[in-house]
Amino acid sequence: MSCSFCHQKAVYYRRYSGEQFCRSCFTKSIEQLTRHTISRHKMFRPHDRIALALSGGKDSTALLHVLYSIERQYPKAQLSAIIIDEGIHQYRQEAIRLAQLSCERVHVPLHQFSFPQLFDISIDQLAEKSQAQRQISLCSFCGILRRKALNLAAKRINASKLVVAHNLDDEIQSMFLSIVRGDLKSLTAIHPVREQIPGFVQKVKPFCEILEREIALYAHFNDLSFQTLPCPYQSSSMRTDIRGFLNQLEYTHPGIKYSTYRNSMKLTLNQPQVSLKPLSKCNICGEPTTNLTCRACTLLQAINSTS
Protein backbone atom coordinates (compact mmCIF):
# COMPACT_ATOMS: atom_id res chain seq x y z
CA MET A 1 0.00 0.00 0.00
CA SER A 2 1.61 3.27 -1.08
CA CYS A 3 0.84 6.88 -0.19
CA SER A 4 -1.70 8.50 -2.55
CA PHE A 5 0.49 11.63 -2.68
CA CYS A 6 4.17 10.65 -2.77
CA HIS A 7 4.21 6.84 -3.26
CA GLN A 8 6.18 6.22 -0.06
CA LYS A 9 4.91 3.39 2.13
CA ALA A 10 1.43 4.32 3.43
CA VAL A 11 0.74 3.96 7.15
CA TYR A 12 -2.81 5.28 7.35
CA TYR A 13 -5.96 4.79 5.29
CA ARG A 14 -8.58 7.56 5.60
CA ARG A 15 -11.75 5.58 5.13
CA TYR A 16 -14.09 8.50 4.46
CA SER A 17 -11.99 9.87 1.58
CA GLY A 18 -10.29 6.69 0.31
CA GLU A 19 -6.83 8.37 0.60
CA GLN A 20 -3.71 6.60 1.86
CA PHE A 21 -0.97 8.49 3.66
CA CYS A 22 2.66 8.12 4.58
CA ARG A 23 3.62 9.77 7.90
CA SER A 24 4.81 12.97 6.32
CA CYS A 25 1.81 13.45 4.00
CA PHE A 26 -0.56 12.66 6.88
CA THR A 27 1.06 15.39 9.02
CA LYS A 28 0.75 17.85 6.12
CA SER A 29 -2.87 16.87 5.62
CA ILE A 30 -3.82 17.60 9.27
CA GLU A 31 -2.04 20.96 9.08
CA GLN A 32 -3.78 21.74 5.79
CA LEU A 33 -7.23 20.76 7.07
CA THR A 34 -6.71 22.99 10.11
CA ARG A 35 -5.51 25.84 7.92
CA HIS A 36 -8.66 25.49 5.76
CA THR A 37 -10.91 25.57 8.82
CA ILE A 38 -9.12 28.67 10.10
CA SER A 39 -9.42 30.47 6.79
CA ARG A 40 -12.99 29.33 5.96
CA HIS A 41 -14.26 30.67 9.28
CA LYS A 42 -11.91 33.70 9.32
CA MET A 43 -10.72 32.74 12.79
CA PHE A 44 -7.69 34.99 13.03
CA ARG A 45 -6.52 38.44 12.00
CA PRO A 46 -2.84 39.16 11.27
CA HIS A 47 -2.24 41.03 14.58
CA ASP A 48 -4.11 38.65 16.86
CA ARG A 49 -2.71 37.79 20.27
CA ILE A 50 -3.64 34.13 20.32
CA ALA A 51 -3.96 32.25 23.61
CA LEU A 52 -4.26 28.48 23.36
CA ALA A 53 -6.00 26.64 26.20
CA LEU A 54 -3.46 23.89 26.82
CA SER A 55 -4.37 20.93 29.01
CA GLY A 56 -1.36 18.70 28.41
CA GLY A 57 -3.62 16.18 26.63
CA LYS A 58 -3.21 15.02 23.02
CA ASP A 59 -5.65 17.47 21.39
CA SER A 60 -4.31 20.73 22.77
CA THR A 61 -0.69 19.53 22.49
CA ALA A 62 -1.24 18.66 18.81
CA LEU A 63 -2.97 22.00 18.22
CA LEU A 64 -0.02 23.83 19.79
CA HIS A 65 2.24 22.26 17.18
CA VAL A 66 -0.12 22.90 14.28
CA LEU A 67 -0.68 26.54 15.30
CA TYR A 68 3.03 27.02 15.74
CA SER A 69 3.69 25.76 12.21
CA ILE A 70 0.97 28.07 10.82
CA GLU A 71 1.81 31.09 12.96
CA ARG A 72 5.46 31.10 11.82
CA GLN A 73 4.16 32.40 8.50
CA TYR A 74 2.32 35.29 10.25
CA PRO A 75 5.05 37.05 12.23
CA LYS A 76 2.74 39.86 13.41
CA ALA A 77 0.53 37.41 15.33
CA GLN A 78 1.58 36.27 18.80
CA LEU A 79 0.98 32.79 20.15
CA SER A 80 0.98 31.89 23.82
CA ALA A 81 -0.58 29.13 25.90
CA ILE A 82 -2.60 29.04 29.10
CA ILE A 83 -2.83 26.08 31.45
CA ILE A 84 -5.32 25.91 34.31
CA ASP A 85 -4.42 23.91 37.39
CA GLU A 86 -7.76 22.78 38.84
CA GLY A 87 -6.02 21.39 41.92
CA ILE A 88 -6.26 17.65 41.26
CA HIS A 89 -3.49 15.89 43.17
CA GLN A 90 -1.03 13.79 41.14
CA TYR A 91 -2.95 14.44 37.93
CA ARG A 92 -2.51 18.07 36.97
CA GLN A 93 1.15 18.22 38.00
CA GLU A 94 2.06 15.73 35.28
CA ALA A 95 -0.04 17.62 32.72
CA ILE A 96 1.68 20.89 33.64
CA ARG A 97 5.12 19.33 33.32
CA LEU A 98 4.28 17.97 29.86
CA ALA A 99 2.72 21.28 28.80
CA GLN A 100 5.91 23.08 29.85
CA LEU A 101 8.02 20.69 27.77
CA SER A 102 5.73 21.10 24.73
CA CYS A 103 5.86 24.90 24.97
CA GLU A 104 9.64 24.90 25.37
CA ARG A 105 9.95 22.72 22.29
CA VAL A 106 8.25 25.36 20.13
CA HIS A 107 9.34 28.46 22.15
CA VAL A 108 5.78 29.45 23.07
CA PRO A 109 5.28 31.21 26.44
CA LEU A 110 3.09 29.31 28.91
CA HIS A 111 0.93 31.12 31.48
CA GLN A 112 -0.25 29.13 34.47
CA PHE A 113 -3.36 29.90 36.55
CA SER A 114 -5.08 27.84 39.22
CA PHE A 115 -8.53 27.37 40.74
CA PRO A 116 -7.24 28.08 44.27
CA GLN A 117 -5.65 31.31 43.00
CA LEU A 118 -8.80 32.40 41.09
CA PHE A 119 -11.59 30.88 43.20
CA ASP A 120 -10.01 30.00 46.56
CA ILE A 121 -10.92 26.34 46.16
CA SER A 122 -9.48 23.31 44.36
CA ILE A 123 -11.32 20.42 42.72
CA ASP A 124 -9.88 18.11 45.40
CA GLN A 125 -11.49 20.31 48.08
CA LEU A 126 -14.75 20.40 46.13
CA ALA A 127 -14.68 16.63 45.82
CA GLU A 128 -14.45 16.33 49.60
CA LYS A 129 -17.78 18.09 50.00
CA SER A 130 -20.58 15.60 49.92
CA GLN A 131 -22.67 15.31 46.77
CA ALA A 132 -25.62 16.71 48.74
CA GLN A 133 -23.74 19.96 49.23
CA ARG A 134 -23.16 20.26 45.51
CA GLN A 135 -26.05 21.27 43.30
CA ILE A 136 -24.47 19.64 40.24
CA SER A 137 -21.92 16.93 39.41
CA LEU A 138 -18.24 17.56 40.08
CA CYS A 139 -17.42 17.56 36.35
CA SER A 140 -20.14 20.11 35.55
CA PHE A 141 -18.85 22.30 38.37
CA CYS A 142 -15.28 21.87 37.12
CA GLY A 143 -16.39 22.77 33.56
CA ILE A 144 -18.11 25.98 34.69
CA LEU A 145 -15.07 27.07 36.72
CA ARG A 146 -12.67 26.08 33.94
CA ARG A 147 -14.52 28.14 31.30
CA LYS A 148 -14.50 31.12 33.62
CA ALA A 149 -10.83 30.59 34.51
CA LEU A 150 -9.82 30.45 30.85
CA ASN A 151 -11.64 33.66 30.05
CA LEU A 152 -10.14 35.43 33.08
CA ALA A 153 -6.68 34.15 32.17
CA ALA A 154 -7.03 35.19 28.51
CA LYS A 155 -8.07 38.68 29.60
CA ARG A 156 -5.18 38.93 32.06
CA ILE A 157 -2.63 38.18 29.36
CA ASN A 158 -4.42 40.57 26.99
CA ALA A 159 -5.31 37.93 24.39
CA SER A 160 -7.60 38.80 21.51
CA LYS A 161 -8.49 35.16 20.72
CA LEU A 162 -8.91 32.15 22.97
CA VAL A 163 -8.26 28.91 21.11
CA VAL A 164 -9.74 25.65 22.36
CA ALA A 165 -8.82 22.23 20.95
CA HIS A 166 -12.32 20.77 20.65
CA ASN A 167 -12.21 18.19 17.86
CA LEU A 168 -14.90 16.95 15.47
CA ASP A 169 -15.92 14.14 17.84
CA ASP A 170 -16.25 16.56 20.79
CA GLU A 171 -18.41 18.89 18.75
CA ILE A 172 -20.82 16.23 17.49
CA GLN A 173 -21.11 14.69 20.95
CA SER A 174 -21.99 18.16 22.30
CA MET A 175 -24.59 18.60 19.56
CA PHE A 176 -26.28 15.31 20.47
CA LEU A 177 -26.17 16.18 24.18
CA SER A 178 -27.76 19.58 23.47
CA ILE A 179 -30.53 17.91 21.47
CA VAL A 180 -31.15 15.30 24.19
CA ARG A 181 -31.34 18.06 26.80
CA GLY A 182 -33.37 20.40 24.59
CA ASP A 183 -30.71 23.04 25.14
CA LEU A 184 -30.99 25.36 22.12
CA LYS A 185 -28.50 27.84 23.55
CA SER A 186 -25.75 25.21 23.72
CA LEU A 187 -26.72 23.85 20.30
CA THR A 188 -26.26 27.18 18.54
CA ALA A 189 -23.07 27.83 20.55
CA ILE A 190 -21.36 24.98 18.68
CA HIS A 191 -19.98 27.44 16.15
CA PRO A 192 -16.31 27.28 15.16
CA VAL A 193 -16.10 30.97 16.07
CA ARG A 194 -18.09 32.16 19.07
CA GLU A 195 -19.96 35.41 18.88
CA GLN A 196 -17.99 38.42 20.11
CA ILE A 197 -19.49 39.42 23.47
CA PRO A 198 -18.13 42.24 25.63
CA GLY A 199 -16.28 40.84 28.64
CA PHE A 200 -15.43 37.57 26.87
CA VAL A 201 -12.33 36.85 24.80
CA GLN A 202 -13.58 35.47 21.49
CA LYS A 203 -13.30 31.68 21.40
CA VAL A 204 -12.28 29.78 18.24
CA LYS A 205 -11.98 26.06 17.48
CA PRO A 206 -9.46 25.28 14.69
CA PHE A 207 -9.70 21.48 15.24
CA CYS A 208 -13.50 21.34 14.94
CA GLU A 209 -13.30 19.44 11.64
CA ILE A 210 -10.56 16.96 12.60
CA LEU A 211 -11.41 13.48 13.87
CA GLU A 212 -10.15 12.64 17.34
CA ARG A 213 -8.35 9.50 16.12
CA GLU A 214 -6.51 11.51 13.46
CA ILE A 215 -5.33 13.99 16.11
CA ALA A 216 -4.05 11.06 18.18
CA LEU A 217 -2.23 9.78 15.12
CA TYR A 218 -0.77 13.22 14.39
CA ALA A 219 0.54 13.37 17.98
CA HIS A 220 2.01 9.89 17.64
CA PHE A 221 3.66 10.50 14.24
CA ASN A 222 5.22 13.73 15.51
CA ASP A 223 6.50 12.23 18.78
CA LEU A 224 4.52 14.66 20.91
CA SER A 225 4.51 14.04 24.66
CA PHE A 226 1.06 14.30 26.18
CA GLN A 227 -0.78 13.10 29.25
CA THR A 228 -2.59 9.79 28.97
CA LEU A 229 -3.49 9.40 32.64
CA PRO A 230 -7.24 9.97 33.09
CA CYS A 231 -8.54 12.38 35.70
CA PRO A 232 -9.34 10.44 38.92
CA TYR A 233 -12.80 12.05 38.99
CA GLN A 234 -13.68 11.05 35.44
CA SER A 235 -16.77 8.91 35.43
CA SER A 236 -18.94 7.30 32.82
CA SER A 237 -21.46 9.79 31.47
CA MET A 238 -24.03 10.13 28.73
CA ARG A 239 -21.28 11.69 26.61
CA THR A 240 -19.33 8.41 26.85
CA ASP A 241 -22.35 6.48 25.54
CA ILE A 242 -22.94 8.98 22.71
CA ARG A 243 -19.26 8.69 21.81
CA GLY A 244 -19.54 4.90 21.48
CA PHE A 245 -22.70 5.20 19.40
CA LEU A 246 -21.11 7.75 17.02
CA ASN A 247 -17.96 5.64 16.63
CA GLN A 248 -20.08 2.65 15.68
CA LEU A 249 -22.00 4.79 13.18
CA GLU A 250 -18.75 6.10 11.66
CA TYR A 251 -17.47 2.54 11.31
CA THR A 252 -20.47 1.43 9.27
CA HIS A 253 -20.91 4.76 7.45
CA PRO A 254 -17.45 6.35 6.99
CA GLY A 255 -17.69 10.13 6.84
CA ILE A 256 -20.97 10.42 8.74
CA LYS A 257 -19.34 12.49 11.50
CA TYR A 258 -18.25 15.06 8.90
CA SER A 259 -21.58 15.18 7.14
CA THR A 260 -23.47 15.48 10.45
CA TYR A 261 -21.26 18.34 11.53
CA ARG A 262 -21.30 20.17 8.20
CA ASN A 263 -25.07 19.79 7.78
CA SER A 264 -25.75 20.90 11.34
CA MET A 265 -23.55 23.92 10.74
CA LYS A 266 -25.56 24.78 7.63
CA LEU A 267 -28.73 24.59 9.70
CA THR A 268 -27.40 26.72 12.54
CA LEU A 269 -24.66 28.90 11.03
CA ASN A 270 -26.99 31.48 9.57
CA GLN A 271 -29.18 31.49 12.63
CA PRO A 272 -28.27 34.07 15.23
CA GLN A 273 -26.58 32.37 18.18
CA VAL A 274 -29.32 32.38 20.81
CA SER A 275 -28.88 35.81 22.24
CA LEU A 276 -28.12 36.21 25.80
CA LYS A 277 -30.29 38.39 27.93
CA PRO A 278 -28.64 41.80 28.38
CA LEU A 279 -25.35 41.39 30.20
CA SER A 280 -24.59 43.02 33.50
CA LYS A 281 -21.72 42.64 35.96
CA CYS A 282 -21.80 39.84 38.52
CA ASN A 283 -22.40 41.42 41.93
CA ILE A 284 -19.61 39.26 43.40
CA CYS A 285 -16.80 38.97 40.85
CA GLY A 286 -17.68 41.71 38.35
CA GLU A 287 -17.54 39.34 35.36
CA PRO A 288 -20.28 39.51 32.72
CA THR A 289 -23.47 37.62 33.48
CA THR A 290 -27.10 37.60 32.45
CA ASN A 291 -28.16 37.29 36.11
CA LEU A 292 -27.39 39.23 39.24
CA THR A 293 -24.68 36.69 40.17
CA CYS A 294 -22.72 34.60 37.65
CA ARG A 295 -23.11 30.82 37.63
CA ALA A 296 -19.63 30.16 39.06
CA CYS A 297 -20.14 32.56 41.98
CA THR A 298 -23.63 31.17 42.66
CA LEU A 299 -22.24 27.64 42.93
CA LEU A 300 -19.23 28.70 45.00
CA GLN A 301 -21.50 30.67 47.33
CA ALA A 302 -23.68 27.60 47.81
CA ILE A 303 -20.64 25.46 48.65
CA ASN A 304 -19.21 28.02 51.07
CA SER A 305 -22.52 28.55 52.85
CA THR A 306 -22.69 24.83 53.69
CA SER A 307 -19.06 24.58 54.86
Binding site for ligand SF4 (CB under 6 A): 86, 123, 138-139, 142-143, 231, 233-234
Q: How far apart are CA 165 and CA 234, in angstroms?
A: 19
Categorise residue 56: left if φ over 0, alpha if ψ from -120 to 50, beta otherwise: left
**Shortest separation between residue 8's beta carbon and Zn ion, angstroms:** 5
300 binds Zn ion (CB under 5 A): no
Quick one: 306 exposed, middle or buried, by C-beta within 10 A (0-12, 13-18, 19+)? exposed
Pick the closer one to ligand SF4 by CB: 142 or 187. 142
Restricted to residues 257-286, the positions that interact with Zn ion (CB under 5 A) are: 282, 284-285
Restricted to residues 24-83, the positions that interact with Zn ion (CB under 5 A) are: 25
Quick one: 145 exposed, middle or buried, by C-beta within 10 A (0-12, 13-18, 19+)? buried
Determine the 3-state secondary structure of 28 from DSSP: helix
Q: How far apart are CA 241 and CA 231, in angstroms?
A: 18
| Binding-site partner at residue 10 among Zn ion, ligand SF4, none, CB < 5 to 8 Å by type | none
CA dihedral 4, 262, 30, 79 (to 10 degrees): 160
Pick the closer one to ligand SF4 by CB: 234 or 259. 234
145 binds Zn ion (CB under 5 A): no
Pick the closer one to ligand SF4 by CB: 36 or 181. 181
Sequence-distant (6+) residues with CB within 8 A of 45 are 160
**Cross-sheet strand order for the sheet of 110-114:** 110-114, 78-85, 49-53, 161-163, 202-204
**Shortest separation between residue 281's beta carbon and Zn ion, angstroms:** 9
| Binding-site partner at residue 54 among Zn ion, ligand SF4, none, CB < 5 to 8 Å by type | none
Pick the closer one to Zn ion by CB: 211 or 297. 297
| Binding-site partner at residue 280 among ligand SF4, Zn ion, none, CB < 5 to 8 Å by type | none
**Shortest separation between residue 292's beta carbon and ligand SF4, angstroms:** 26
| Binding-site partner at residue 22 among Zn ion, ligand SF4, none, CB < 5 to 8 Å by type | Zn ion
CB half-sphere exposure, 227, CA atoms < 13 A: 20
294 binds Zn ion (CB under 5 A): yes
